[in-house]
Amino acid sequence: MKDQAQIVIIGGGIVGVQIAYHLAKLGRTDIVLLEKGEIASGESSHAAGLVTQFATSQTMLRFRMYSIELYSELGLFNHVGSIRVASSREQLKELERSVSRAKALGLEVDVISPEEALKVMPQISKKDLYGAIYLPRDGQLDPYTTTTTVAHLAREMGVEVGTDTMVTGIELSPKGEVTGVITSRGTIKTEIVINAAGMWAPRIAAMAGLYVPTTPVDHQHIALRAVSGNEFPENTPCLRDPDNLVYMRQEQGGLVIGGYEPNPLARWIDGAPWEHGGRSLPGDYDRFEMLLEGAIRRIPFLDQAGIITLVCHPGAYTPDCQPMLGPMAGARGFWMAAGMSLNGYGGAGGIGKLMAEWIVEGESPWDIYAYRATRFGNYYNDPVYAAERTRESVKYYYRLKFPHDEPEWARPHRVSPVHYRLLELGAVFGEKFGWERVNYFEPGKPSRRMGEDQRQWGWAKPPFFDRLREEHKATRERVTLFDLTSFGKIEVSGNGALPLLQRLTDSDINKPVGSAIYTQFLNTRGGIESDLTVTRLGEDYFWVITGSGFIGNDLARLQMYADEKDGEVSIRDITQEYACLALWGPKARLVLQKITNDDISNEAHPYLTTKPININGAKVYAQRVSYAGELGWELYIPNNRAPIVWDLLMNAGREFGMEVGGYKVLDSLRLEKGYRYYTADITQLDTPYEGGLGFCVHLDKDDFIGREALLKKKQEGPTRKLCTLVLADGDEFTQIYGGEAVYHEGKVLTRVRSGGYGYTVKKNILYAYLPVDLAKQGNRFTIDLIEGRREADVTASVLFDPKGERLRA
Ligand SMILES: Cc1cc2nc3c(=O)[nH]c(=O)nc-3n(C[C@H](O)[C@H](O)[C@H](O)COP(=O)(O)OP(=O)(O)OC[C@H]3O[C@@H](n4cnc5c(N)ncnc54)[C@H](O)[C@@H]3O)c2cc1C
């Protein structure tokens, strides 16, 4: 075995071999792939082998489409097609919604009728069959042959594959850079290590001092014998029936059936044993019974099929059931490609390609924000909590989760210091990143947590619609108090702080102390990596404020780009040290002035500045910004003083008719103002110019990541831009969830990024990127909404207070 390599890959499952294969194809062959057993001796040996292209995320769709074409090219794929059925009315709606989204992303797919579905697969029962989709390019593969073939091809291109070689440690330099991998057969010096160790990945990460939340959760599939007279032909399409929680494929005239149990079993939550290789665990027939019943509901003659075997094996899942990909902060050169969450075979081809290009070119070619390995930060480092979240995500792999549904397990996990006051006011809580957050209030009613609530009203108008109007109206006309404590807060200090932030942001951060700067982190292509506020609280002292779910990635980005050449820099997550209360509305100043002696007049405390003010002895950072587009402040208060400040604000606000508000109304308020939501309206593939955030870009700043790309873009001029549209006919509320296909002249043109109802302007608002030649006010497009096709017109970008006078009042 080599004692030095450019790249070491740990894990000889489908993911590890695909990365090796794609790196070799890009000419990187100084690679060693290490596997403690044989190739395909982990989870990869147990897959049922079904692969579909269908996905509603752009990147996952790309991964899967690419994987299928690659397997096909290598002669490893059987294009038997696949059918996905809706066995309930709600599921049919969900299928229609997903089809609209998938079409907008470039997949050719349509909902077919029950009769057409029966033609594709005559064996299925027509009982409770509401519709389906059929994808002829989908199909199945043999997992073992696929993994070993790809490994063989990588080897042929020059990759060294070391089987029976156990990784036992990672070597780091004093600066925290990877320098080597220690194995049972000696040490290999290297600067890049890729952790593709499947469910053992957390143990490998821990060797480098890192934490990654993947939990092994059992997955079972059963092989049934052919039923005489009802043998399935070889070209039988794969079947997925989410309502019945099962998938199936043909094997020797019979079927292999797997599925997603409603109460999945997590095991080894603090580390999978090394000695567990490819062994199958004893199948649990009691647990599988309800899945088999589901399969029989869809194909009744299966009740006569004899059982060949029940396979049980854990899969590596993450808390949101998405893979963990890319570099980690804290150990330079340490990359992740694990936690596949059953996306293994479907994802691995595309993931292999992505990882290889990312490593070689230094930037990911696709939008992988939702899959970044850093996204969980340390927020899931309680194994019991991580396992509960993960088990629940697995439960929803097939079970219909409506857009307004919230997780139910492992709650409450993290609460704000004013939580008990919120309880007294009838707060209805949702959950984000472990935080209990108020969605809206039901005054006079007992407080409660939302869960699978949307099941009660389905796809109709939500019952909280009228309450949101109250919260909205109060914010526009009087004043509303919000608890936004879950905001991510990062303290960046030291003489290296300014150079680091200047390098990462597109705006000029070198502003007077007290400035609050709305800005973005970019990648080298000029795409948006983060959307945040940087506040200068001292010469060398800054706060970076970001969304509740973005703290993991943003913190990691700061850590990864910190460079000792800039000088000393300390980066600290202070999210859980400060509460954040937002006071927004035209009467906000009158309320705040009642509880502080500091001067908060417009002259003394203008828009986009932050000042420490004294409230009852507490030093509160009052930041004049507003996601609602109104006069007001975000108040950052040391946790222990937050309840007192809350009480003082509530008392002071009474005479001004102050309301309390939750997160749901913020969406309505910000949509009227043209404010963007990161991950939907602006992503890694959109530049600030395209996203309407050109005003944040300071090209005259010395240098920053993405500057060159933006200079070029500016010269060339934009080809598309994010536009505001409103539904044309009528002001009645219409459900817009985001992702829906936008048609122009009968063809899919683009997709809705985000949308909702604006209560002040009384319009259904949506944002979509349009080519510049079509981005003209008054132009009309057709939107494929859940309620059917509707016309929408391009309108002014900002529908309410376009000059921002209220913010500056
Ligand atoms: C029952 C079941 C059915 C499934 N069905 C499907 C399906 O139909 N379609 C689909 O797309 N996916 C399916 N999957 C998921 C798919 O199998 C996985 O997502 C995929 O195999 C994960 O691949 P991997 O390379 O990440 O992990 P693994 O295959 O587990 O590979 C990781 C490798 O790392 C090695 N390793 C660990 N620690 C060390 C160490 N210290 N030193 C050296 N080597 C080490 C392990 O031995 C292992 O071989 C199924 C999974 C299960 C459990």
140: CB partners within 8 A, 6+ apart = 49, 50, 51, 77, 78, 80, 238, 249
In SS3 terms, 600-653 reads as: CCCCCCCCCEEEEEEECCEEEEEECCCCCCCCEEEEEEEHHHHHHHHHHHHHHH
146: CB partners within 8 A, 6+ apart = 14, 71, 76, 345
Taking the C-alpha atoms of residue 314 and residue 282, their distance in angstroms, rounded to an integer, is: 11
Atom of ligand 1 nearest to the CA of 341: 19
Atom of ligand 1 nearest to the CA of 49: 8
In degrees, rounded to 5, the angle at the alpha carbon of residue 159 between the alpha carbons of residues 153 and 165 is 110
Distance 266 CA to ligand 1 centre (A): 16
Kind and range of the H or E run holding 99: helix 89-104
Distance 693 CA to ligand 1 centre (A): 42
Distance 38 CA to ligand 1 centre (A): 12
Taking the C-alpha atoms of residue 768 and residue 648, their distance in angstroms, rounded to an integer, is: 42
Kind and range of the H or E run holding 437: strand 435-441
Distance of CA 68 to the CA centre of its chain: 23
Q: Is 313 exposed, middle or buried (0-12, 13-18, 19+ CB in 10 A)?
A: buried
pLDDT of the residue at 282: 92
**Other C-beta atoms lying within 10 Å of the C-beta of residue 643:** 17
pLDDT of the residue at 730: 78
Mutation pick for ligand 1 pocket among 10, 35, 43 (CB with most ligand atoms within 8 Å): 43
317: CB partners within 8 A, 6+ apart = 214, 215, 216, 217, 339, 341, 342, 390, 393, 394
Q: Is 282 exposed, middle or buried (0-12, 13-18, 19+ CB in 10 A)?
A: exposed
268: CB partners within 8 A, 6+ apart = 199, 216, 276, 314
Distance 42 CA to ligand 1 centre (A): 5
497: CB partners within 8 A, 6+ apart = 540, 541, 542, 569, 570
Taking the C-alpha atoms of residue 743 and residue 85, their distance in angstroms, rounded to an integer, is: 26
Distance 315 CA to ligand 1 centre (A): 7
Q: Would you state the structure tokens that stand for residue 728, as one six-digit string?
A: 């044309």
pLDDT of the residue at 735: 94
pLDDT of the residue at 278: 76
Taking the C-alpha atoms of residue 729 and residue 731, their distance in angstroms, rounded to an integer, is: 7
CA atoms within 13 A on the CB side of 529: 25
Which protein residue's CA is at the shortest distance from atom 33 of ligand 1? 11
Q: Would you state the structure tokens that stand for residue 158, as one six-digit string?
A: 């020059």
Using DSSP bridges, classify how beta strands 334-338 and 7-10 pair: parallel, antiparallel or unpaired. Answer: unpaired
Taking the C-alpha atoms of residue 394 and residue 374, their distance in angstroms, rounded to an integer, is: 21
pLDDT of the residue at 705: 98
Mutation pick for ligand 1 pocket among 184, 199, 251, 345 (CB with most ligand atoms within 8 Å): 345
Which segments of 315-453 does DSSP mark as H helices, in order?
344-361, 383-395, 419-424
Atom of ligand 1 nearest to the CA of 38: 49
Which protein residue's CA is at the shortest distance from atom 11 of ligand 1? 345
CA atoms within 13 A on the CB side of 126: 9
In sequence order, the β-bridge partners of residue 543 are 491, 535
Atom of ligand 1 nearest to the CA of 249: 8
pTM over 0.95: yes
Kind and range of the H or E run holding 667: helix 663-673
Q: What's the length of the chain? A: 809
DSSP class per residue in 544-569: EEE-TTTHHHHHHHHHHH--GGG---
Strand ranges (DSSP E) for 208-354?
Answer: 215-224, 238-241, 246-251, 254-259, 307-317, 324-327, 334-338
Gyration radius from the chain CA atoms: 27
Check the CA dihedral 24-29-34-37 and report its sign: positive
pLDDT of the residue at 329: 96
Atom of ligand 1 nearest to the CA of 221: 1
Taking the C-alpha atoms of residue 415 and residue 220, their distance in angstroms, rounded to an integer, is: 36
Atom of ligand 1 nearest to the CA of 183: 42
Atom of ligand 1 nearest to the CA of 14: 25
Taking the C-alpha atoms of residue 364 and residue 356, their distance in angstroms, rounded to an integer, is: 9
Distance 17 CA to ligand 1 centre (A): 11
Taking the C-alpha atoms of residue 565 and residue 754, their distance in angstroms, rounded to an integer, is: 41
Kind and range of the H or E run holding 341: none
Q: Would you state the structure tokens that stand for residue 754, as one six-digit string?
A: 């985000």
pLDDT of the residue at 277: 80
Distance 182 CA to ligand 1 centre (A): 22
Residues 799 and 763 sit within 8 Å (Cβ to Cβ): yes
pLDDT of the residue at 719: 96
Using CA atoms, how far residue 601 sits from 355, 597, 618, 629, 633, in Å, is 52, 11, 20, 18, 12
Which protein residue's CA is at the shortest distance from atom 48 of ligand 1? 42
Residues of the chain short of pLDDT 50, as ranges, are none
Using DSSP bridges, classify how beta strands 788-794 and 780-785 pair: parallel, antiparallel or unpaired. Answer: antiparallel
CA atoms within 13 A on the CB side of 622: 27
Region for residue 657 given its phi and psi (left: phi exceeds 0; alpha: psi -120 to 50; beta: otherwise): left
Atom of ligand 1 nearest to the CA of 11: 34
pLDDT of the residue at 512: 98
Question: Locate tokens 């982990």: which residue?
Answer: 42
Using CA atoms, how far residue 572 sits from 366, 503, 531, 744, in Å, is 29, 18, 19, 48
Best CA proximity match to 366, nearest among 199, 183, 525: 525
At residue 259, φ and ψ (nearest 5 deg) are -175, -175
Amino acid at 357: E
Instruction: Provide residues with CB under 6 Å of ligand 1.
Output: 10-16, 34-37, 41-44, 46-51, 166-167, 196-200, 204, 219, 221, 258, 311, 313, 315, 338, 340, 342, 344-346
Q: Would you state the structure tokens that stand for residue 451, as one six-digit string?
A: 């869960």
Question: Locate tokens 């063809």: which residue?
Answer: 747
- Asked if the peptide bond before residue 136 counts as cis, ω within 30 degrees of 0, the response is no
Distance 198 CA to ligand 1 centre (A): 5
Mutation pick for ligand 1 pocket among 342, 355, 394, 397 (CB with most ligand atoms within 8 Å): 342
Taking the C-alpha atoms of residue 554 and residue 566, their distance in angstroms, rounded to an integer, is: 19
Distance of CA 193 to the CA centre of its chain: 25
pLDDT tens, position by position, 641-655: 999 999 999 999 999
Distance 344 CA to ligand 1 centre (A): 7
First to last CA, the chain: 70
Which protein residue's CA is at the shortest distance from atom 3 of ligand 1? 47
pLDDT tens, position by position, 710-722: 999 999 999 999 9
In degrees, rounded to 5, the angle at the alpha carbon of residue 697 between the alpha carbons of residues 693 and 702 is 165
Residues 141 and 71 sit within 8 Å (Cβ to Cβ): yes
Using DSSP bridges, classify how beta strands 31-34 and 160-162 pair: parallel, antiparallel or unpaired. Answer: parallel
